[in-house]
Structure 1
């Protein structure tokens, strides 16, 4: 975008308004670089980020941004191995901490999704390591005593030395009051001294460091503290060297991570910029516009951002795909120029990713260039007239314009003979039409009213005038050319009737008819505008109602989900107690041989499945789609994963689980516990090796899984656990070997999940070590 249009439309002043909400120096940098672009994808991404950011803030509160320093020069000096002060490391630490806090804020955001903004947030780099090593720098920028053992020792010794010096000087003060001009300890040349009277300087032996201007006071460092002060001075030198060494080490530790730091500082700037855009949007009641694919512009209640909100007049402006030129006619001071600028500013703001001052539903186009000839650019230095100055600028515009340009002309053809000026204006507009550029032009020439009526792709517009109050309304009226109100205004101001009648006689009949027609059009347009306004009010009310209802529904669904999960949790607790009681009953029945082992195992499985799982009801729609894709229905053959056995689906229970028939056994299973078997797979399926469930009263307390395949090992472990429980074994050993660790990991995951396992651990070294697990059952 050419710089001239940014100056003409005062884009920097608009950016300054948005910048008032920035918190960080990184955000200031991003704002300084902000300018209009013509990449629709990037602009849409900016708008999506802004919309998602607004939703996050509304649900989770403001983003924790704070003032930060610009790290550009500091990081460059680290690259050059230059020395840094501890305060500069404190600035780095503050920025890194802010990056962490910002990332954490978005990670913890609830009740909202932000896929587009999330792509930017994913670029944050974890800098916990750097924050760890910078803990030795406090918030004030001082290096902590604990930065190194040597630094701690030196500073402790300095403190002790200072305390000893103060003690001695305090003692001398009390004993030498008669020899002192002041009863205080002061500092001269970095050394603590006493203010001794000139006639008593020999009574306080020591080193003279200074003398008062009058010569009446000598500042003496007593001999008793000279050596102590020398020791302190030496330790301070050592402290300074130690601090320098530590800071060099910090710089060396940070140096490999400079790109990560720059990445995070850039991201802080991006978030701060988005935050400023959002705050500007809220404060100015701005909106995020839609983006047209065909340069169509629809602005509802558009306002100029640099005009006082209390007095600015909002205007609708419709520049659809088929319309290439709008000609605004009418008298001066009616608001034509502001209308031009409002359109241009709205486009610049939108193409910079800023919200525009217009109502919801507004639409903007995408232009590679925006050109404008607005205002009086007469140049005395170049001896150019007003007309020549404008024409020079117009010539430059016409040389560069194309189908992706927006052109704004204020008083086109003004400053010369009216007939010639009107002819030039029409020719220029025709040329721009041939280039398919969007053009908004203002003019005084009545000839252009006829041009707007007779030419395709051209529309007349005017600024309304309040005849009752003799003042402009600053409201744009599209489709109606402007008309002169000179005779009517003169009549109301008291101009004699004779003069008015004679003036009217000079007008042709056609001119009179045109004025009557324009007046009629204005009346009809006013009626249509009022109807449209009422419809728009209703639409806005409906949108607000829809928004409120949507929020209420979301809140209701979340509350319902919480209550249902709470109820399910309570039911799960109740069933858990019932299952434990059922286990005891089944053990007693086993001892009395009233049931067969496989019947007991199946009964336990069914009892355990009574406990409902806590589910996230917000995912129900996705689950329904998944079920539909899998084609689950009664009669479908499935493979039950926990038993490696085939079965058939019987029916879908109310809790979302399926009843599955496996031979004589019927059980309830979730969809994760079985897989449907496709018909073609049945033909190709090789014979499955099955392991019979058998229970023996002489079951061993050890299961050996070495050399067994993964699936078979799972089956053997499951069967063995059932038999061990039925046999009331208290402790068992599972030998899984070491090998690749796959069988061992499977066993330990199984034990971790099992509610019948009290504890488990690896066997002692002499009993197999990590190749076997000793399990204690409940």
Structure 2
């Protein structure tokens, strides 16, 4: 049943859109195999994976997923001792490279304090097989050819081959250049027949060169002859080429055996990277349809805001709001043909399937989707969004199957319920079917033309009417879904707009029962009330936005006035301070003169000088221009408020710094410039907390403008530059408080590694060094323990 529902709701067409965003054949196959899940926990996990992928796309634009290849068959053959060819080995190397890039990408995001949970766990399971990757790359070039560097024996053999080829060409070229030789040759060229070098000789000179004939032209006038003078060298060349093939086979066999030792790790990498590719395909698809993650429930509650069908072009789609499963579990939609009723059904159905497949849906944030155990749809086998009807019998065949399987955890979608038969009987049958589905407890959305069903919702609890709006002025549907309002029959209004005489229309109205007229008037009144309410709401929203704008302008104006006031007061106080300073200086001068006078007149006592100075101080002008706004006092927060990264002031040193580490409830390590010291909390004043600060333990220390990483990569750098980088990095690492760091110098010729290790032996901050283990990079990495 679910396969048929997926086909009816065009689920596979949606997957055709999704598959375009997969980066590898493995990811594309994962999309092809995608089907809705019916387990709430599994769906939540799948949704979280898509959400995390979308978060990475939003922050970084893309994730590095290149290089992933389908190496599953190659792994199996290697496991049973089979020989892998060059391209299979190259695919393995490419996959290892892609997985390594992805792992590094995720680790950098974690270092940048991006909150991720699922992707770091997946990256952690990826095992970096650098040695295997390098062994393959050193043996096979990017085009799949085995390199001379693959083995010393191969290099020697190929040197022999080149030497033999050079000797053969030299001898043959001497023939083609000679005057006598040109007369006997059809063309002065050297060519190859049966993997041996030959020259084109005229048939009449066949015996002149001796040797062997390997071929002749179509006319027989030219023979391709291997002269006797090069037969022996050609034989040697052939032997060398046989040895070359044998050596290549041996190299491939060794590499295949090497691969066989990592079957489990490689299988894990393929499995994880396939899922990663699938996650980012879903995330990119969500970005393309402007999708959002809905909240989930298994109680049958749906609230899709501004829902859009992903298969309809963006410029044509009209978003709809659909709610189901709260106050009502049945929704009956009425309205004209081509008005959007079927689109509504398919939108709700397809978005539900997408949700249960772990995909985000094209709705506004805050939408809610339900997880159903069964999803049924009767929209006609051949019906697409644009058109088509189905017969009554085919409808009833589908409905019978649905009635036999439907339960309280089901979503049922009926299009044109009861159509294709007598209107009276069809309407009665539709009402009975809707009643049965409602009693079972399922959620149901049904579309219909029958006027009898317009009053259905008014007589049933848990059922609500809806309609698709029709603009009588333009004679076109607007495709808007109006909840709570049944669809009107617009036949009379349309006929009048098209020019039908009023007399005919009035006579037609007389043939309609009073109940039908009353129903139409009620619907018209509801539509008018809805439009009036929408207009009032729009007016109120405009007034609210205008009031908010005025409020913001007033706040800015008040802030400007306060700032100007403070500037004026500050200017006045500065001028007053200058006057006070000048008066004080004059007072000091007067005191000095009085002391001189005291020397000449001993009757002037010291206490009189002191009294005079006091009177001068009391005579200083009092500032009355206004009071400057006191700067906010530094508050000393409780211990639990101080976290690493907080900017603080050390009172005893009158210096600003930031918290590096909490030692205890009463002590913290504080970074003051180049110095890190332990400070009692009573000696600290809180200043500021950067916005990006995290309460997690710091794994990196910020330098002037950058993070200090726990590793330094020197690969590709010149020797002198690398040595300078090592010295600077060690200083930064010591200041950051690291106890262990890694220096990546690669294997290469060993010169860079030797230079690094010599420098480390002499460095005062280095306690101990060792080579990296297999998991740390082997001999390509030096691990440094710092003092």
Q: Note whether the superposition's TM-score is higher than 0.5.
A: yes
Whole-Å Cα distance in 1 between the matches of residues 207 and 527 of structure 2?
A: 106
Whether contact under 8 Å (2:647, 2:656) holds in the other structure is no
Q: Which residue of 1 aligns with 2:772?
A: none
1:172 to 172, 175, 199: 175
Q: Which residue of 2 aligns with 1:687?
A: none
Q: Which residue of 1 aligns with 2:140?
A: 137
2:253 to 248, 251, 275: 248
1:415 to 413, 417, 420: 420
Q: Which residue of 1 aligns with 2:123?
A: 121
Whether contact under 8 Å (1:294, 1:321) holds in the other structure is no
Q: State the secondary structure of the residue aligned to 1:267.
A: helix
Structure 1 position 201 matched with structure 2 position 203:
no
Q: Which residue of 1 aligns with 2:338?
A: 333
Whole-Å Cα distance in 2 between the matches of residues 256 and 296 of structure 1?
A: 52
Change (3 A) 1:191 1:38: same
Q: State the secondary structure of the residue aligned to 2:262.
A: helix
- Give the gaps of 5 or more residues in structure 1: 379-383, 543-563, 573-605, 634-647, 657-671, 673-755, 763-778
Q: CA deviation at 1:344?
A: 0.5
Q: CA deviation at 1:82?
A: 2.6
Q: Which residue of 2 aligns with 1:217?
A: 222
Change (3 A) 1:757 1:12: closer
Change (3 A) 1:238 1:272: same
Q: CA deviation at 1:539?
A: 12
Q: CA deviation at 1:73?
A: 2.2
Moved more, 269-278 or 444-453: 269-278
Q: State the secondary structure of the residue aligned to 1:193.
A: strand
Change (3 A) 1:199 1:88: same
Residues paired across the two proteins, number: 578
Q: Which residue of 2 aligns with 1:483?
A: 488
Q: State the secondary structure of the residue aligned to 2:114.
A: coil
Whether contact under 8 Å (1:26, 1:266) holds in the other structure is no
Change (3 A) 1:448 1:566: closer
Change (3 A) 1:129 1:532: farther
Change (3 A) 1:341 1:649: closer
Q: CA deviation at 1:288?
A: 1.9
Q: CA deviation at 1:535?
A: 8.9
Alignment of 1:456-535 (within 5 A): 456-529=461-534
Structure 1 position 271 matched with structure 2 position 276:
yes
- Give the gaps of 5 or more residues in structure 2: 384-388, 549-643, 668-678, 688-696, 698-762, 770-787
Structure 1 position 52 matched with structure 2 position 52:
yes
Whether contact under 8 Å (1:373, 1:390) holds in the other structure is yes
Whole-Å Cα distance in 1 between the matches of residues 766 and 32 of structure 2?
A: 63
Alignment of 1:515-664 (within 5 A): 515-529=520-534, 615=659, 651-654=682-685
Whole-Å Cα distance in 2 between the matches of residues 539 and 208 of structure 1?
A: 99
Q: CA deviation at 1:292?
A: 3.0
Q: Which residue of 2 aligns with 1:720?
A: none
TM score, norm. by length of structure 2? 0.68
CA deviations 1:723-764 (Å, max 9, x no partner) are xxxxxxxxxxxxxxxxxxxxxxxxxxxxxxxxx9899899xx
Q: Which residue of 2 aligns with 1:722?
A: none
Whole-Å Cα distance in 2 between the matches of residues 353 and 76 of structure 1?
A: 31
Whole-Å Cα distance in 1 between the matches of residues 29 and 228 of structure 2?
A: 58
TM score, norm. by length of structure 1? 0.69
Q: Which residue of 1 aligns with 2:361?
A: 356
Q: CA deviation at 1:84?
A: 2.0
Q: Which residue of 1 aligns with 2:722?
A: none
Whole-Å Cα distance in 2 between the matches of residues 510 and 86 of structure 1?
A: 83
Alignment of 1:44-123 (within 5 A): 44-66=44-66, 68-109=68-109, 110-123=112-125
Q: CA deviation at 1:83?
A: 2.5
Structure 1 position 401 matched with structure 2 position 406:
yes
Q: CA deviation at 1:610?
A: 10
Whole-Å Cα distance in 2 between the matches of residues 282 and 76 of structure 1?
A: 37
CA deviations 1:275-320 (Å, max 9, x no partner) are 2222222222222222235221111111111112111121111114
Structure 1 position 155 matched with structure 2 position 120:
no
Whole-Å Cα distance in 1 between the matches of residues 544 and 153 of structure 2?
A: 73
Change (3 A) 1:566 1:478: closer
Whether contact under 8 Å (1:334, 1:463) holds in the other structure is yes
Q: Which residue of 2 aligns with 1:642?
A: none
Please tell me the root mean square deviation across aligned C-alpha atoms, in Å.
3.4
Q: CA deviation at 1:523?
A: 2.1
Whole-Å Cα distance in 2 between the matches of residues 6 and 320 of structure 1?
A: 22
Q: Which residue of 2 aligns with 1:600?
A: none
Q: State the secondary structure of the residue aligned to 2:456.
A: helix
Whole-Å Cα distance in 1 between the matches of residues 523 and 54 of structure 2?
A: 46
Whole-Å Cα distance in 1 between the matches of residues 535 and 263 of structure 2?
A: 61
Change (3 A) 1:190 1:216: same
Whole-Å Cα distance in 2 between the matches of residues 528 and 186 of structure 1?
A: 91
Whether contact under 8 Å (1:48, 1:117) holds in the other structure is no
